[in-house]
Structure 1
Amino acid sequence: MSLWQDVITTALVGTERRTLTLTPATNPLGQLLSQLNPTNPEATLLSAAGAISLYHRAGQRAISDNQPLPQPCLPDDKPPCSPRAAQYLKLMLQKERVKLLPEWLTAAATAGYRVPDYCLPELLEVGRTSPPLRPAILPVLGQRGRWLAAHNPDWNYVGDEDIEQTWTRGSLDARKLLLHHLRREHPTSARERLVAVWQQESSDGRIALVDTLQIGLNLEDEPFLEMALDDRRQEVRRQAAHLLAQLPESALCQRMQQRIQSAITFRRKRNRLHLDFILPDYNEQEITRDGIDSKQPPQLLGNKAWIILQIVAATPLSLWSELQEESPAEWIKAAKRSEWDHSLVEGWAVAAMGQQNTEWAEVILPFSSTFKGYLIPQNKLIAGLINVLSPEQRDSFLLNLFPSSKVPFDSTHPAFTLLTHCHSPWSAELTGIVLDGVRRYLAKTDNPYDWSLSTGLKEFAYFMSPEIVPELSTRFNNIVPERSALASYWTEVIDEVLAVLNLRYEMGREI
């Protein structure tokens, strides 16, 4: 029996029933054990157990790895951001002000900086759990970030700087990000790469990669997308139809146009346009191939209304002025006079977003509260329509919702709902008008607990213009009146808004 087994057996049986027999002092361990006091069996047992355990651990050889050391990282050609800018990044990586991370990443990439080395593991982990942030993360990783990601399978969304290496050996996530990048720089060559591997791709790969054609979408993509309409996966077919619907000159849009022309009827009453639809008997296989679902209408929407909505959403908006010389505003009025108002208005909204039609987007946005989200969720549809407008158009459109600079601003204001979906930078003028309106609201209201407004303001702070920060101390210092019913609730809200604005201002200056 080994010495350790003897200790275990004695401990299990008990020192009163069994005596621990120690080996003669023939080695250093034996010499140590021989010094134990045999008159105290319990102490001897415990001391022996501790000594033997320590002896075995101290005598083990260190584990060795025979794998060759990795190649060292190449020197970085990009400079790291400043220590203060890195502090802001560290703050966000620690889940403080994390909503500012996209703004920090974009600003750093624009300035040509990379992330400091000690922030790389946390930032790469953020990319693993937040795929939408990956395109913004890649430009600031530098050589060290790519080198580090190559040694962790969890970060395989980061491809090699060698395009061919990434395209042939990279993970699906890395190849998708590569196509995103190539579509911005060389849309034709990116599509040709996709066409070359399409037949060999898995179904999940085809679903992921076809979506990249959204970037730089153009009429040259049509032949490939028409072919994808016959794919065996429904998700691929739907995405291909969605993309083709954004190309007014595509054959799919022309087919939709013909369906509208054959179904719509007009009449005028008191010089006002009235319209209706008489749907012909469609070939089920043909309309299904074009992405029209004729069997599963959403709840509270009839089958005919559902088909009309889908066809209108994929029809070129130019058709309507060709059918009748009416402005988009008049068409919406005509839709409101019909039984198909929800199908038409929401279909036009989806078409305006997909076709990037600013004229229709501006006219439809005031009706956004009526959207039901049948094809696209309401919040995404409203945000998409706002993004159709250029920064100047968007600013002008939103400012026009403030006809008077003396009107209080709360959650019932016509601009409030649209601003909650405007996730693009605000102008300094719009920021000032909103904050002035909030101050007027707080000064006059008898019901200060507008929960929607307080929540919205905290979100607005991430998009308001930080250019107004230098004048905050004088212009908005007393935005909360000295009234007990207001001060305890609104001071915290306004302080949060000003804190975010100040942080964004300082962060922007530092980067």
Structure 2
Amino acid sequence: MTGTPPPAAPPPAWEDLVTAALLGTDRRTPPGAPPGRTAPAALLDAAAAETVRRRAGLRPGRAAPRPEPAPEDPRPALPAAAVRRLGLLLADRPGSGGSGRRGTAPDLMELLPQWLAAANSRGFAAPAEALPALLDAARGRTDLRPAALEFAGPRALWLARLNPDWRFALRATPGGGAVLPGPEETDRINQLWQEGLFAERVALLAAVRSRDPDAARELLATTWPTERAEDRLMFLDSLRTGLGPRDEPLLEQALADRSRNVRATAAELLSALPGSALAARMAVRAGACVAVDHTQDTPTLVVEAPHECDAAMERDGVVPKAPSGRGERSWWFGQLVEAAPLASWQARLGGRTPQEIVALPVADDWLSELHAAWCRAAVRQRDADWSRALLGVPSAPEAGGPGAVSLAERAKLLGTLPAGERAEWVAGFIAAHGLSEAFQLLGVCAVPWAPPLGRSVVDALNIARDAGSYPWSFSGVMGLAERCLDPAEAGRLDALLAIPDEPEDASPGAGGYWAEAFQRLGTTLRLRAVMSEELGAS
């Protein structure tokens, strides 16, 4: 009687074969193979057979639904020349050499931010074929992202949902690129505010605030008591846009918030409203600390800092604990002066103008503390008159002005002045003090630089060349000049291209390096002019 053949042994599991390969056939015999010298060959045969079996038995995956078509971009198309220029800018990559010498060729990647700003100002749409390279560039440089995503438009968000490498575009766009309801869609606005994700609600509040500050504040008030502390802080920060007297009741309510950060932000915003009740309270407190002493030959300001930080002060945003190394009384005093309306000092100090107040001597080494607080107040309240008084004339010794305590403070004060006046002040600073401390100040000037400022920068660079130093000592200013100097100044650089005779104490070869740097600057300016023409500039 013929017996039933035994069932075939099941094929070895792939995991068992991998384990045998990792441990070695001397330690682990492959499944179904005899031990010994033939084990390695048996392992390879089994792995080959299992590979074929796995492939043959692979079940096809379910067909995924096709993605929705990319949204249309209604903006006008780029001119053909500008499309070619964009391709060149995106194809450029920073050099990998270790030398600090840059040569005479323009740095195209540094021109890309300017090109994007110009294209956005003219309302052009990005060509579809350039979007992947544009998103790759923005992925590697966070400073490019706002302008690049604005230029790329809705199709960039469509692509970002399909490629994990570009997900930053969704994070960088408030609400993840969701289409926000229009001003007439009140039901959708209320529904999104009540039910939306946090990012969507932030985007919605910002959009409503930009077009109707009162409506945004009323929307926020409907859910204010039930919001989380960290969310209240973000929502409150949106009130900076269009901040006005009607925001005061909500901000006063926020002064009693259980979150210290929310209270501090509310106090800061109220102090930026000179007519607010908090500003009036701070004016009384700060005014009680400062008086004019007429008993001396010259009227002198005397300061009596507060001796305690009471509960009312703390409620109005005064932080009681001083930073390490800072005296408590001076810390409290600075916060009071910073939050007091600047207009209150003229009434408090005998009707003097800001210039006259700032010029008064201050007793007992309180000058730097008092003036630094006035600087912060002038920046917060956007008071140009006080900024001028604190800046002083740019030709003053060390250009410190009577009240600015640092270059950073001066840069902030300059930001409150009109663009033309700002450029004129910085030009005077450079003419008097050179470029060594001008970098921060140049960064707050409008682009392109006004002609007087541009001339002062070129003249100061020429003076530095004649002094025999190397150009990379001024690489920061030179880089700013490439981006900010008016292209019309390119002609003035032609006279600086010759290699001058080097004085005996000059750095070896400095003249040649300067000629190279000026040639690169001139080439960059001319390229910027061509780029502007390609975009259809008038």
TM-score w.r.t. the length of structure 1 is 0.78
Q: 1:58 aligns with which of 55, 58, 75?
A: 55
> 1:216 matched to which residue of 2?
242
Question: What are the residue-to-residue correspondences of 1:432-447 with 2, within 5 Å?
Answer: 432-443=455-466, 445=467
Deviations 1:54-97 (A, max 9, x none): 41343143552465434323322123434135326625898976
What's the CA shift string for 1:209-262, capped at 9, x where partnerless? Answer: 222222222112111111111121111111111111111111111111111233
| Per-residue CA distance 1:291-345 (angstroms, 9 max, x = gap) | 112331452x422222221111111111122222222222222255552111211
How far the C-alpha of 1:352 sits from its partner, in A, is: 1.0
- Residue 307 in structure 1 maps to residue 332 in structure 2: yes
Q: Identify if the C-alpha distance between structure 1 residues 133 and 441 changes in structure 2 by more than 3 Å, giving closer, same or farther.
A: closer
Partner in structure 2 of residue 348 of structure 1:
374
**1-structure distance, mates of 2:213, 2:140:** 28
Provide the secondary structure at the position in 1 that maps to 2:436: coil
Give yes or no for contact 2:358–2:403 (8 Å, CA) kept in 1. Answer: no
Equivalent residue number for residue 125 of structure 2: 114
Distance of aligned partners of 1:41 and 1:255 in 2 relative to their CA distance in 1, 3 Å threshold: same
User: How far has the Cα of 1:134 moved from its partner?
Assistant: 6.1
**3-state SS of 1:266 partner:** strand
In structure 2, the CA distance between the partners of 1:193 and 1:137, relative to structure 1 (3 Å rule), is farther
Check the 8 A contact 2:33/2:39 in 1, yes or no: no
Task: State whether residues 352 and 360 of structure 1, in contact with CA within 8 Å, keep that contact through their aligned partners in structure 2.
Answer: yes
Specify the alignment match of 1:205 in structure 2.
Answer: 231
Uncovered stretches (5+) of structure 2, i.e. residues with no partner: 1-8, 96-106, 182-188, 392-398, 503-507
Return the offset for 1:383. 3.2
Distance 1:145 1:265 in 2: 60
Q: Does 1:468 align with 2:478?
A: no
Q: Which residue of 2 aligns with 1:487?
A: 511
**Partner residue of 1:144 out of 147, 155, 176:** 155
> How far apart are the structure 1 equivalents of 2:20 and 2:136?
51
Q: How many residues align?
A: 477
**Secondary structure in 2 matching 1:326:** coil
Q: How far 1:390 moved relative to its partner?
A: 1.4
Q: Which amino acid is 1:159 matched to?
A: G
Counterpart residue number, 2:72? 75
| Cα shift at 1:398 | 2.6
Aligned equivalent of 1:26: none
Q: Give the match for residue 104 of structure 2.
A: none
Secondary structure of the 1:461 match is: helix
Distance 1:338 1:133, change over 3 A: farther
Aligned-partner SS, 1:56: helix
CA contact (8 A) 1:78 1:142 kept: no
Aligned residue in 2 for 1:243: 269
TM-score for both structures, normalised by structure 2: 0.75
Matched, 1:289 2:315: yes
1:268 aligned residue? 294
In structure 1, the partner of 2:477 is 456
User: Structure 1 stretch 40-49 or stretch 270-279: which is displaced more?
Assistant: 40-49
For 1:422-437, list aligned pairs within 5 A.
Answer: 422=445, 425-437=448-460
* Residue 159 of structure 1 pairs with residue 177 of structure 2: yes
* 1:477 match: 497
Cα shift at 1:284 = 1.4
User: How far off its partner does 1:267 sit?
Assistant: 1.9
Change beyond 3 A, Cα 1:236–1:420: same
Could you tell me whether the CA contact under 8 Å between 1:219 and 1:250 is conserved in 2? yes
Q: Residues 493 and 339 (structure 1 numbering): CA distance in 2 closer, same or farther, change over 3 Å?
A: same
CA contact (8 A) 2:70 2:155 kept: yes
| Higher alpha-carbon deviation: 40-49 or 278-287 | 40-49
Cα distance change, pair 349–3 in 1 and its aligned pair in 2 (3 A): same
- The alignment partner of 1:462 has SS state of helix
CA distance in 1, matches of 2:212, 2:94: 37
Instruction: Kindly provide the amino acid, as one letter, of the partner of residue 84 in structure 1.
Output: R
Question: In 2, are the aligned partners of 1:194 and 1:209 still within 8 Å (CA)?
Answer: yes
If asked which structure has higher relative contact order (CA below 8 Å, sep 6+), I would say 2
Change in CA separation of 1:19 and 1:49 when aligned onto 2, cut-off 3 Å: closer
Shift of 1:369: 10
Report the counterpart of residue 32 of structure 1 in structure 2.
Answer: none
2:94 corresponds to 1:87: no
Instruction: Please name the residue that 1:508 is paired with.
Output: 532
**Equivalent position to 1:48, from 45, 62, 65:** 45
Q: 1:510 is aligned with what amino acid?
A: E
1:226 and 2:244 aligned: no
Query: What is the identity percentage for the equivalent residue pairs of Structure 1 and Structure 2?
Result: 28
Partners of 2:25 and 2:40 within 8 A in 1: no
The alpha-carbon deviation at position 501 of structure 1 amounts to 3.8
Equivalent residues of 1:198, 1:206 under 8 A apart: yes
- Aligned partner of 1:112: which letter? G
One of 304, 316, 320 as aligned partner of 2:341: 316
Would you say the 8 A contact 1:357–1:388 is kept in 2?
A: yes
Distance 1:183 1:487, change over 3 A: farther
Whether the 8 Å contact between 1:73 and 1:147 is mirrored in structure 2 is yes
Paired residue secondary structure (1:199) = helix
Give, in whole Å, the separation in 2 of the partners of 1:195 and 1:94: 50
CA contact (8 A) 1:127 1:137 kept: yes
Aligned amino acid, residue 463 of structure 1 = C
